[in-house]
Amino acid sequence: MATLAMHETPGRITLSDVRENPKVNAMILGANEVMKAMGYTEHGLRHVGVVSGITRYILENLGVAGREAELGQIAAYLHDIGISVNRIQHPSTGGAIAFTLLNEMGMPVEEIVPILSAIGNHEELSGMPISRMSAALIIADKSDVHWSRVQEEDKTKFDIHDRVNYAVQKSRVEMDKETKVIVLDLEIDTSFATVMEYFEIFLSRMVMCRVSAKLFDYRFTLRVNGTTVE
């Protein structure tokens, strides 16, 4: 996919424009309500904000700046809006919704297209990294595991996803340009969930992160409680 121009142009739709759009935020809040009703972890404004920030961090460390990095953040902010319809096939649904919203806001189609492909390919069961933007979004999304995402208040009702997320006290993505390694650094309270349980539910996501990092010619590794897991 062609690299987008790095200069800024007055009148372009910015990340701030997207974040301040009431329809966008209504879709994100609606998506989280669906996930909460189904017993899943948080997929609302906190999640998309975190994923958007990590996406930009990855792209900027790869030397991607300006407009392309901002479009990556916009894709990250919108990546789960399809869940407002249904969790199943939400990347495709989300792409369709994102096109409607961004087109309505006045974004040119040549900028919308890479956003749609990033949204449409971010899930491990149906997608794959097809661009730098897409790969950065995948790694950012799959790296957001944290106790604050748990929406079930009664710990006696925690399922494995709740327990694993609740066990993660700290989560941080780090990039080393010299060794070309992307590290997901986790601090896990093993009194709530074991490291093995983490892999039980996140293995396919970590594999997708590894494939995504390879697109940049990087390696993806985990560091759990100070121990690196290759």
- State how far the Cα of 30 lies from the Cα of 87, in Å rounded to an integer: 12
Take residue 44 and report the two structure tokens written for it: 């609302």
In a domain, 6, yes or no: no
In a domain, 207, yes or no: yes
Q: Is beta strand 181-188 parallel, antiparallel or unpaired with respect to 219-224?
A: parallel
In a domain, 4, yes or no: no
Give 120's pLDDT tier (boundaries 50, 70, 90). very high
Give 61's pLDDT tier (boundaries 50, 70, 90). very high
Give strand pairing partners of 188. 168
pLDDT in tens, 157-179: 999 999 999 999 999 999 999 99
- Using alpha carbons only, how large is the chain's radius of gyration in Å? 17
In three-state form (DSSP H/G/I as H, E/B as E, the rest C), the secondary structure along 59-115 is HHHCCCCHHHHHHHHHHHHHCCHHHHCCCCCHHHHHHHHHHHHHHHHCCCHHHHHHH
In a domain, 2, yes or no: no
Range of the domain at 61: 15-229
- State how far the Cα of 82 lies from the Cα of 118, in Å rounded to an integer: 13
Q: Mean pLDDT throughout 181-203?
A: 93
List, in order, residues 6 or more apart from 61 with CB less than 8 Å away.
Answer: 175, 177
Q: Mean pLDDT throughout 197-206?
A: 92
- State how far the Cα of 149 lies from the Cα of 169, in Å rounded to an integer: 11
In a domain, 51, yes or no: yes
- State how far the Cα of 206 lies from the Cα of 33, in Å rounded to an integer: 26
**pLDDT over threshold 90, residue 126:** no
CATH code, domain carrying 137: 1.10.3210.10
Give 212's pLDDT tier (boundaries 50, 70, 90). very high
**pLDDT over threshold 80, residue 15:** yes
Instruction: Count how many domains the chain has.
Output: 1
Give 2's pLDDT tier (boundaries 50, 70, 90). very low
What mean pLDDT value characterizes the chain? 92
**pLDDT over threshold 60, residue 7:** no
Count CB atoms within 10 A of the CB of residue 38. 9
Residue 170 pLDDT: 95
pLDDT in tens, 73-100: 999 999 999 999 988 889 999 999 999 9
In a domain, 209, yes or no: yes
In a domain, 5, yes or no: no
CA proximity to 175, closest of 130, 143, 134: 143
Predicted TM-score (pTM) of the model is 0.92
Residue 125 pLDDT: 77
In a domain, 10, yes or no: no
Take residue 52 and report the two structure tokens written for it: 């958007």
Q: Mean pLDDT throughout 102-121?
A: 96
Residue 229 pLDDT: 84
